[in-house]
């Protein structure tokens, strides 16, 4: 049974930065599509970014240019660097891992393993 654990959430001011990290055990990110999703209060879970087994990166339109996804193959970790944060980025952020995906990376039902989530709050 794979286990994903997120860390790095917290409070940031608008325009600020945060970096999230996800550590995996029982699953290798280089054999998977690894992604970040987020769920804001009262909203459905939404895709944020993903990196597939070949290293191709995908971003949702509302974070492209501000967020960057990284994968450390040796440590088997997945990071999300979030810059120029906005109040609308406030959400619980989840790390997920699934099979080899391409354009369907945005479909949360395709992912097998999920972390418990970490809260990100952007507020002045």
Beta-carbon count within 10 A of 50 CB? 26
Mean pLDDT score of the chain: 95
d(CA 64, CA 58): 9
d(CA 79, CA 83): 13
pLDDT per position as a tens digit, 72-84: 999 999 999 999 9
| For range 1-10, the mean pLDDT | 93
Per-residue model confidence (pLDDT) at position 122: 98
Per-residue model confidence (pLDDT) at position 90: 98
At 1, the pLDDT band (50, 70, 90 cuts) reads confident
Asked whether residue 93 carries a pLDDT value surpassing 90, the answer given is yes
pLDDT per position as a tens digit, 55-72: 999 999 999 999 999 999
d(CA 105, CA 109): 10
Residues 6+ apart with CB under 8 A from 99: 32, 33, 110, 112
For the chain, the distance separating the N- and C-terminal CA atoms, rounded to the nearest angstrom, is 40
């Amino acid at each position: 049974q794979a286990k994903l654990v997120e860390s790095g959430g917290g409070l940031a001011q608008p325009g600020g930065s945060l970096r999230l990290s996800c550590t995996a055990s029982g699953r290798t990110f280089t054999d998977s599509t690894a992604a970040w999703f987020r769920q804001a209060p009262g909203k459905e879970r939404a895709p944020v970014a993903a990196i597939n087994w070949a290293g191709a990166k995908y971003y949702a339109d509302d974070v492209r240019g501000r967020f960057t996804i990284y994968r450390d193959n040796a440590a088997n970790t997945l990071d999300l660097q979030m810059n120029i944060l906005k109040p609308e980025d406030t959400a619980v952020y989840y790390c997920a891992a699934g099979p080899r995906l391409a354009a369907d990376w945005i479909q949360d039902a395709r992912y097998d393993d999920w972390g418990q989530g970490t809260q990100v709050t952007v507020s002045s």
